[in-house]
Amino acid sequence: MAKFILGKFDKASEVLKNMSVLALGSFVGKVASVVLVPIITRIYGPESLGVLTVYLATLMVITPFASFRYSIALPLIRSDSLAINLATLAACCTLLAAVIVFCFLFFVFKILKIPGSDSVFVDSWWLLLLSFLLLGFYELFTGWAIRKKEFKLISYSSALPTILGDSAKVLLGLLGASHMGLLAGQLLKHALSALYLAKLFFGAWNKHKVSITFRRLVFLSRRFSDYPIFRLPSQFVLLLSMQLPIFFCASRYGADVAGQLGLALMTLALPVALFGQTTSQAYYAEIAKLGATRLAEIREITKSLIVRLFILSLFPFFTLLFGGPYLFKIVYGDEWRLAGVAGSALSICIVFQFITTPIMRIFDLLDKQRLYLCLNFVRLVGVAFVFLFSWYQSLSFVSTMWVYSFCMSSYYFLIAFILWTLIRFNQGVAQ
């Protein structure tokens, strides 16, 4: 797929080989989900899936605080003895963040007792804390595995736990479990992913733990201070803006509508997850080799990429736009037709997202992280405005999804325009 999309600009390299190994694990996991999700939707109702959707949305928003993003820098350090100090710092930050999350969740669900929490999350908030811890350490272990170029191991840690976790959801559902079956299956997936990579990390930790010193921890915390100062808030703002539709629909329309939206978003995210991420990695491998001084060639690669991605998106776009409700009803069951209606509305912005996601790596190439942070804030404000407008006008769920879709389409178009302008402007500077 990457070869078709990048065309003649795709060169055989070790980077692309590693990318294909990682993509295979992601592909196997996603295919397993494709097979099992229609079974899950026939066992659990929209309300149960809505609880899982809100659970995952909350987890996704708070996960960037695990390790304070220090684990991302693990592959950048040459010395294992120094890297193990950074890994120890990341682990300490994860534990500290877990304590803060525990206090927050305990305060919200046990002391404040927010409306609706007694029927949805009051019996499962501790699972959210466990998942946060597991994902934090999985990110740490993944950073170490990338450092050691154990890409096959990372691939397995993605595919196998996904299959086993989704299978557990089906089994627990058949045994009569409610939303707790879905949450338990998700927790199992997170636990297996972390355990799969734990042996590699702790083997290195036992070997180099004698080199861990407080002085090195302080030095590394300052050396990579940009990660918690800039990358963490940028990631948090981005993820919060992505999950706002879930939180709004759960509070405004109920858990069952949140479940419908969750299924629609999960289905629409599949092509982006399968092909968008792979294409993004291949595209970044190419432009990184060219460097920021050869922007004329990067511009041609980008132009070719946009055209090819647009062509690839046409068939699924028109299929979802005109046949979404019927497809969802056939694949997932009669009670999921509303998810198909939401999918039809969201199909417009998914096309723009599919095209824009890979070329956003230009921000990394040109070191425009602060600009990216500002754009994430723009997205957050825009999405918040959409749902405030929906609440003020008392719009229906479907009408809200259409407004949100047009808003996000405009945002992705703005991103593409800014990236194209950056290439042209910096090309002139380079020349």
Q: DSSP assignment of 358-390, as one string? A: HHTTHHHHTT-HHHHHHHHHHHHHHHHHHHHHH
> Mind listing the pLDDT tens digit for each residue in 55-68?
999 999 999 899 99
**What is the predicted pLDDT for the residue at 411?**
94
| Residue whose pair of structure tokens reads 């350490």 in the numeric block | 137
**What is the predicted pLDDT for the residue at 26?**
67
DSSP secondary-structure letter at 87? Answer: H
For residues 233 and 179, state if they share a domain: no
Contact 324, 343 (CB under 8 A): yes
**Last residue of one domain, picked from the residues 187, 206, 223:** 223
**What is the predicted pLDDT for the residue at 126?**
84
Name the domain count of the chain. 2
Give burial (CB, 10 Å; 0-12/13-18/19+) of 136: buried
Contact 301, 287 (CB under 8 A): yes
CA distance 323 to 339: 12
**Last residue of one domain, picked from the residues 171, 206, 223:** 223
For residues 124 and 4, state if they share a domain: no
The encoded tokens of residue 374 equal 């500002």
φ, ψ for residue 175, nearest 5 deg: -85, 0
For residues 238 and 209, state if they share a domain: no
Contact 282, 5 (CB under 8 A): yes
DSSP secondary-structure letter at 67? Answer: G
For residues 410 and 372, state if they share a domain: yes
**What is the predicted pLDDT for the residue at 119?**
52
**Last residue of one domain, picked from the residues 194, 223, 252:** 223
Helix (H, G, I), strand (E, B), or coil: what is residue 270? helix
Q: What is the mean pLDDT of the chain?
A: 85
For residues 80 and 18, state if they share a domain: no
**What is the predicted pLDDT for the residue at 296?**
83
Q: Output the CA torsion 362→363→364→368 (10° steps).
A: 140
For residues 86 and 202, state if they share a domain: yes
CB atoms within 10 A of CB 372: 19
Does pTM surpass 0.75? yes
For residues 119 and 61, state if they share a domain: yes
**Closest-CA residue to 303 (of 7, 98, 3):** 7
The pLDDT tens digits along the chain (431 residues) read 545 544 544 443 454 555 566 666 666 777 777 788 999 999 999 989 998 999 999 999 999 899 998 998 888 888 999 999 999 999 999 999 999 998 888 777 666 554 444 455 666 778 889 999 999 999 999 989 888 888 788 888 888 898 999 999 999 999 988 889 999 999 999 999 999 999 999 999 999 999 999 999 999 999 998 889 888 888 899 899 999 999 999 989 988 999 999 999 988 887 776 666 667 766 776 777 777 777 888 888 888 888 888 888 888 889 989 999 999 999 999 999 999 999 999 999 988 988 898 888 788 777 787 888 889 899 999 999 999 999 999 999 999 999 999 999 999 999 999 988 888 776 554 45
For residues 203 and 260, state if they share a domain: no
Contact 417, 358 (CB under 8 A): no
For residues 230 and 213, state if they share a domain: no
CA distance 35 to 108: 37
**What is the predicted pLDDT for the residue at 73?**
86
The encoded tokens of residue 125 equal 């908030």
| Residue whose pair of structure tokens reads 């820098």 in the numeric block | 73
Residue 182 belongs to what domain range? 44-223
CA distance 396 to 83: 52
| Residue whose pair of structure tokens reads 């950048």 in the numeric block | 76
For residues 10 and 117, state if they share a domain: no
For residues 201 and 247, state if they share a domain: no
Q: Output the CA torsion 283→286→288→290 (10° steps).
A: -140
For residues 192 and 308, state if they share a domain: no
